[in-house]
Structure 1
Amino acid sequence: MIEARGLEKRYGDKVAVHDLSFTARPGVVTGFLGPNGAGKSTTMRMILGLDRPTRGEVLVNGRRYRDAAAPMHEVGVMLEARAIHTGRSAAKHLLALARTHGIGRRRVDEVIDLVGLREVARKRAGGFSLGMGQRLGIASALLGDPATLILDEPVNGLDPDGIRWIRDLLRDLAAQGRTVFLSSHLMSEMAMTATHLVVVGRGRLITETTVAEVIASASPPAVHVRTPETSALRSVLGGIDITVTATSADTLEVTGRTSEQIGSLARTAGIVLHELTPRQVSLEDAFMALTRDAVEYATAAT
């Protein structure tokens, strides 16, 4: 478990993180989201004791990370996948890390196989592609079989097969009762991997809730309806809690009624439907709406 309590970090007059509190719980994949400059990296560094909070505290499994007797067994970390000795092979890099914690070669071999690096394990890590380096960083985080994982941009550079692999792996680790805390700018992947979200902007907490609640709060779900009888359907769907918007000559976007309700009303009225598709905003759309006023580096409109 990761517990942040009133975290604040100042660099002179600059407030990078302000009064930030949240909890990442065991058995859950928690996504950590925010625009560039929101304070995500600073927060993760404070979790790991790399930056000292100006105020507040953050505990990992009930104590400060720097007080852990064997950190790699408690927390697996990947903040920068390419933080490696480029002249070492993947196997020697992992073995060097393992020896700091009394971890045997068998575990090194296990994580090499787990991340799919067996064929290149003896090659110098400095020659790895971005995706291979990412797999090595994930292997390093998993080496101590930790109860808590903290990963920054874990899918960066991975191919589609690798993205699916890391997605399934993180879900499996959470299902085992581990705490999984990850930051990513890829909203589509976060939507499929995380169940809980911590969203920050300008160093402050915007919301801490589930993925489903973030999406649901962005806008009411709509139903896309295609029919040659749009006028007749409009009259059937009348009501103060209904919004019907024509998007073309034969299509309507309806909010306030489910697809089942619309289908039943159309059948009763004898109206032909060619399409009836529930629509929901994406996590990306919901995130953009949540953080609209917290973007520090906004691009110009075109």
Structure 2
Amino acid sequence: MTKPPLHIHLAAPRGFCAGVDRAIKIVEMALTKWGAPVYVRHEIVHNKFVVDGLRDKGAVFVEELDECPDDRPVIFSAHGVAKVVPAEAQRRNMIYVDATCPLVSKVHIEAERHSDNGLQIIMIGHEGHPETIGTMGQLPDGEVLLVETEVDVATVDVRDPDKLAFVTQTTLSVDDTKGIVAALNARFPNIVGPHKEDICYATTNRQEAVKEVAPKVDAMLVVGAPNSSNSKRLVEVGAKNGCDYSQLVQRAGDIDWRALEGIASLGITAGASAPEVLVNEVIDAFRDRFDVTVDIVETAVERVNFKVPRVLRDVEL
């Protein structure tokens, strides 16, 4: 039986960013250096396939430091942690390795610098997301106020409207954030913004690639986890840029084939914590059902690389 033709537009860049790559490498190197088990506070990155793979190698994932024994190393996830977490690890004389993405650390430093200059911080982010919790936890309660929408900007209660700065979560939608920043500038004309965009290069690049692909395809699939902020933003970007069917799938088994009946073109991308092996699995699933041709839609080339912490630089994988 002849398979129907399908043209897949594969977005590039997609998948792992430098911060995710570094965080995974840190867990693997820690296991090589200290042996199993190594404890990881929170999912190292938001992807079940990656977490399960590291668990199989001897990583133990916990939500809080009090679930970790004093005599085993603990790693803090790529999303960053509040200041009280490493302080408690130090108090307990634990070996700990901070896998916080350097671009998240940049936001932490920025917030502290603004606070040192007497400014109260407004953070644009998602309530309950580990990155937001970590950034707000760099300063005492009340020093960082969270806004999620333009509506929140209208009601946020600040100490002094002339002594404010803002920072953002690194994995937000670039377009949505522009509206919130504009609302902040309109209500607080003297608010101080970041020297350089807080939304990270990888988030921006993946969203730009989706904007390029979305108008050309009948459907868009984003390979990523349901708790991955940057993956969910890619789904939204696809839907807002001309693709009526834009969906998140963790892997090939999640594809809704009935919804894709009759399509002639498909866009595929992956969130920053999704490995390429899962993208290939999705493409192979389509090859089973369609006569597939693939073209790569590349909007940027990434050459960013982050060093691992000094304590692990003597380890070879």
Range class of TM-score, shorter chain: under 0.3
Task: Tell me the TM-score normalized by structure 2.
Answer: 0.27
Q: TM-score, normalised by structure 1?
A: 0.28
Computing the radius of gyration from Cα coordinates, the structure with the larger value is 1
Q: Which has the higher strand share?
A: 1
1 or 2 for the larger relative contact order (CA 8 Å, sep ≥6)? 2
